[in-house]
Structure 1
């Protein structure tokens, strides 16, 4: 009596291996950020009047600013500082494409009495497609001004976790850079808070001036990119499956 057998094991293992490799590559593509840093959020404080309230809105490349040097995200600074105002700014840490007039432009001044220690500036944004972020700003602080800043972050808008800190020198305009912890990468509800301490002024003078806040980072592939990669992988797997099926040989027992 004749009977036939199919010899699947080696070929099926090869096909499964292909699927595993394809899945791993797809996952890596979905999670791997682009190499180039992008301006995600940018505050230049220029849309204000000298000695009036500071400008809390970020500048963006699209509406309403159409500033080529702006960021991608429209958001606002909120603060619990008691006394602030728009003051003369500086050019350090401006983005290369910023078209707002600044010579030297405007900045945000902060009162720095001991009662103001521990107060903050913060802003929120959707970071679903952002990773590898760093926060930088230009600052000029007088001898009695704030001498330390610490970054705190939240992914729920309620609970804040301490991040890196930096000493603020009093030797003229400085650029401070703080690396944003990776815990906020690709999170939908991110708030970054800068807490200032070390102020010893006894008056209402604005002893610390901050300008040109930048949040830079990488953009991870958007869903359309991932979907395109998935379709390509599925097509490859289907083609390989058809080739393997055609290569199956039958033999007599």
Structure 2
């Protein structure tokens, strides 16, 4: 699984694991402090509050430990048991705000942390097997993939593209013709969510920036979604590009017999 290794073994995943270790250390430190306070408690109410907090922190610590273990399994391309995978996904969803705050406090780039989330999500999706038809797969990309100077409006109808080849839309339309997938260009997250609700795909390949991809992952939890970070040679939201080989590999993974 060459694609698995490319996605998971990057600096964003290392950073994500590093932040998890820091979080676990902090939780253990607070737990030890509470344990020390419990020895000095004098009232039943005080003891109840301290012990309740200790039990809660113990649960959080176990969840972090399981998530770190799952990340290690994914790093070495090992199969993650279903129960561990479920705990990991629940914890990642719940801990997202705290990890972002911790990363900001440590002066780490937010997009790198977000990329860590998308990389782990992709590895989990790639660890499963799918046998879907092309029409059951939806490719979503933002409108900034179209060249800003292009006069042809394609957000409502991709068939308006003149296939000049100056942007990646031409090749994505070729993928639609070759594999029979749905391909739509959207102007924002609201339209993307509406399309998913209307079309009801069984898998989604989303192309966007780290922020939008993470937002999409938080919104779409019941459908397998492969998140592909776009390239921004001219800055955000203008004349963006995508690794077409990565898109094709994602399509093949979902339809592979």
TM beyond 0.5: no
Bigger Rg, which one = 1
More helix by share: 2
More strand by share: 1
Q: TM-score, normalised to structure 2's length? A: 0.25
Q: TM-score, normalised to structure 1's length? A: 0.26
